[in-house]
Structure 1
Amino acid sequence: SLALGPSGAWSRCAPAAATRRRSDSDAVGRQAGMFPETMSVFGNRWAAALLVAAFLETTRFTDFQTQLGAPPSLLAERLQTFCAIGVLSSSPAERSGSERSTYLLTDKGRALFPVLVAALQWAQQWFRAPEGPAIALTHRGCGAGFTGELACDRCTELLAGAQISVVAR
């Protein structure tokens, strides 16, 4: 599970600026290949904050906006992009007559968890806050804090950069 830690205020997790530099959610559909779609997830400075909020079970537009402080138009665009590439799904709210949507992580979105854990651990190591970590990771099964580790799926050996060969295909 994820929970905000001692220094975990949304103001410290979300970008300071509230303006857009560049973004084109329509371009995602026009670009082919792995890199453009991946950059649509990580290439926007609000994306990581929005994903963390989704992993913290934020599901409503107004809750995303309140927690992140993102401008409504920017937030709407990010949510639309994440739905278009299959990271989030959008469905009408359960209350009848409501035009509000609920945003949920898809399998593709949940598969980003190890990526976010690795980025979070790196950030908390290299940009330490005096109050402590911004987000605490806890294993729900045993209740203990955990550190994500990269291991070989064949032999289970823990891996570091020098132990991995990268081959272009």
Structure 2
Amino acid sequence: MTAPKFIRTCSIWRALEVVGDTSVLLILEASWIGARRFDEFRTRTGLLQTLLSDRLKRLVAAGVMEKRLYSEAPPRFEYRMTQKGRDLYWPALMMLRWERRWATTEGKLQLRLRHRTCGHIFDPVPTCLKCGDEIGARDVDWTEGPGVGWMAARYSRRRQQRHAAEAASSLMVDVAQITGDRWASLVLRSIFTGLRRFDEILGDTAMATNILSERLSWLTAQGVIRTHEVGGRRFEYRLTEKGIDYYPVLLMLLQWGDKYYVSPEGPPLLLRHKSHGHDLEPAVTCSCCSQPVEPHDVTFEVIEAPAPALQPAG
């Protein structure tokens, strides 16, 4: 029997065990914009019936969604977010923010958000609530927390599903390919924590070498990371500005993982706001009134992607 490989305990890893799947992200996105019933999810996501059924079951088992009976004859069900699912709102908003900044909008849905608290159309902003400053990767330092340790890397088998996001009429096509690919997100987690060489990332993630090679090549092709020579034939992987701006997604996933999957000892990582020297208190706030935004305080308008123009006959 092969000995288990071990990786650092990490709330991001635990969060990605639930949401690090492109099909799951498409389902959650559809739920945010109003899908409740199976056929509505299928229409919005474009997922095959068997795949959709499997992912809905996983989300129910994880406590992110609940299945409710709404008709007894014949029995019919709908799927609604639990509080645990609603707490994924901030990671979802950070994904939307990244998509707006770095991905093309051609052929995609657009979402206009309005904050009921102030009445304005707003953009979501990653913020430290203790000081009110916007935060990014360069503003945050970290130390090991009381829950740091090592755990067996039990990777469930998942097929690569980047095509699922590309095929769907989605709000977040590009970012869903990253967040929905758990291995790609774990590579970025490693680089954000200062592990930049192939062997360092390999040891941190415990993934197979061929999988790591493919993810590094793909992230490089997407312009999220770049190679940097460090002498001789050696090189390391560094984040581009596009990659650095992905940090708030991981930050909010970490916070969600800390809330629902933290060990009894405490969080594996403790975050500090560099410029002020205090503990980081991350939140997503409104760009207009600077108040934290919650699902029940936000209304939205979905703007469907325009149909492609017909080409004149040759």
Q: Using structure 2 for the length normalisation, give the TM-score.
A: 0.46
CA contact (8 A) 1:20 1:74 kept: no
Q: 1:151–1:119: structure 2 CA closer, same or farther, 3 Å change rule?
A: same
Structure 1 residue aligned with 2:283 = 149
**Matched letter for residue 198 of structure 2:** F
What residue number does 1:8 align with? 148
| Equivalent residue, structure 2, for 1:95 | 231
Whichever structure has more strand as a proportion of its residues is: 2
Please tell me whether residue 124 in structure 1 is matched to residue 262 in structure 2.
no
Alignment-derived partner of residue 196 in structure 2 = 59
CA deviation vs aligned residue, 1:30-88 (integer Å, no higher than 9, x gap): x4876442222111222332222111111111100112111111111111111111111
Secondary structure at the aligned position of 1:38 is classed as helix
Cα separation, partners in 2 of 1:161 and 1:114, compared to 1, 3 Å: same
Distance in 2 between the 1:127 and 1:48 partners?
18
Instruction: Tell me which amino acid in the other structure corresponds to 1:79.
Output: L
Question: Does 1:45 find its partner at 2:182?
Answer: yes
Q: How many residues end up aligned between the 2 structures?
A: 160
Find the counterpart in structure 2 of residue 74 from structure 1: 211
Partner-residue secondary structure (3-state), 1:167? strand
Unaligned runs of 5+ in 1: none
- In structure 2, the residue matched to 1:21 is 158
Cα gap change, 1:48/1:5 in structure 2, threshold over 3 Å: closer, same or farther? farther
Q: Give, in whole Å, the separation in 1 of the partners of 2:235 and 2:161.
A: 22
Q: For 2:246 and 2:187, locate their aligned partners in 1 and report how far apart those are by CA, in whole Å.
A: 12
Residue segments in structure 2 that go unaligned for 5+ positions in a row: 1-140, 304-314
Q: Structure 1 residue runs of 4+, over 4 Å off?
A: 31-34
Alignment of 1:104-115 (within 5 A): 104-115=238-249
Contact kept, 8 Å, 2:147 with 2:262, in 1: the verdict is no
% of aligned pairs identical? 27
Distance 2:208 2:188 in 1: 16
The corresponding residue for 2:298 is: 164
Looking at structure 1, the residues matched to 174 and 184 of structure 2 have their Cα atoms a distance apart, in angstroms, of 13
User: 1:103-123 deviations in whole A, cap 9, x for unaligned?
Assistant: 111111111111111111111
* RMSD (Å) for aligned C-alpha atoms: 2.4
Contact 1:3 1:56 in 2 (8 A): no
| Equivalent in the alignment of 1:133 | 267
- Quick one: distance in 1 between partners of 2:252 and 2:200? 26
Letter of the 2:223 partner, please give it: G
* Secondary structure of the structure 2 residue equivalent to 1:166: strand
Instruction: State the one-letter code of the partner of 2:289.
Output: C
Q: Structure 1 length normalisation: TM-score?
A: 0.81
Describe the SS at the equivalent of 2:231: coil
